[in-house]
Amino acid sequence: MNGKESLNSNKFLNIAKNIGDTLKTTVQFKQLESIGGGCINQVSKVSDDKGNEWLIKENSPHLLDMFIAEANGLNEIHNTGTIRCPEVICYGETQQNAYLVIEYISLVNGSGSALTGEKLALMHQYQGAIHGWHRDNTIGSTPQSNLQSASWIKFWKQQRLIPQLELALKKGYSKRDYDNGLMLCDKLELFFKPYTPAPSLLHGDLWGGNQAHDSSGNPVIFDPAVYYGDRETDLAMTELFGGFSTNFYAAYNQHFALDEGYTTRKTLYNLYHVLNHYNLFGSSYASQAGSMTRRLLTEI
């Protein structure tokens, strides 16, 4: 299907109408550019006859709630006024798809900068009363429970590690590594003496591919899996796959210094993401998850 046929389809006519109704104007798409979207969603840039540009994320119709959760998360970050993220325009579903329309930002790739570290530290100082969030969302395409708890240790055990371990076991994760994971869960409090995390607003999925800069050099974060919890979880994930400069960490610590126990706890936090990668992408992550678990058990 070529671009002209796509823009004349009922799907895109419905999306254009939703944008127009939201912005109280008339929108007629003139150009469509597919820009991929990784392993989860199809992503396109569209523009209208007035030169306005938007990003459209698409997936199966039954996944609308995933986009609503992402929209809620972007709004949560945007409302802090600390670090730029795409503004939400609208979301909805057609017979062919569920979709989310957000502001299009022309991004410049590059390692997380000192300014990114400063802005993230400011966002993390925006704190809630309790760990978790008012709704569930997804981490990648994996359901992520955000059932709220006054106890961070209870939250990390029951809403993060155990669900991933149980899903991994169903997908073929070794019983030995699963049992080690449960043993680790029973000892979590030993990693938090005397540290008591505050419920900071978290991006939730902050790897290098979910951050960049706009054309003016302002940091931008996107594709969040928002909840409130220990800010160390965001910092830990920045180290998991790289993509952040040493200046990023120096600036973050200057504005919101990390506790010295972070150097151990970051493995605990990244175990969640490595288990999720096992559950999403397969056995190549099994040995890494098992090794991380055994290393943590030696710290007890």
User: Which residue is associated with the tokens 């974060």?
Assistant: 221
Does the annotation count 136 as an active-site position? Answer: no
Q: Which of 211, 5, 204, 205 is nearest to 105 (CA)?
A: 211
- Please indicate, yes or no, whether the overall pTM of this predicted structure exceeds 0.75: yes
Q: What is the mean pLDDT for each group of 10 consecutive residues in the chain (300 residues)?
A: 66 96 97 82 95 97 97 98 98 96 91 94 98 97 97 98 98 98 98 97 97 95 98 98 94 98 98 98 97 97
Tell me the fold of 3-104.
Phosphorylase Kinase; domain 1 (3.30.200)
Alpha helical stretches, state H, the chain: 3-7, 10-23, 64-78, 114-124, 152-155, 162-170, 175-186, 232-240, 246-255, 262-281, 286-298
- Write the single-letter amino acid at 231: R
- Which residues belong to CATH 3.90.1200.10 in the chain? 108-298
CA distance 135 to 69: 8
Catalytic residue, from 205, 223, 230, 234: name it: 205
- Which residues belong to CATH 3.30.200.20 in the chain? 3-104
Helix (H) or strand (E) holding 57: strand 53-59
Residue 219 pairs with which residues in a beta bridge?
213
- What's the pLDDT at 37? 62
Q: Is 93 helix (H, G, I), strand (E, B) or coil?
A: strand
- What's the pLDDT at 109? 77
Q: Is 277 helix (H, G, I), strand (E, B) or coil?
A: helix
Sequential DSSP letters for 6-33: HHTSHHHHHHHHHHHHHHTS---EEEEE
Top CATH class, 108-298: alpha beta
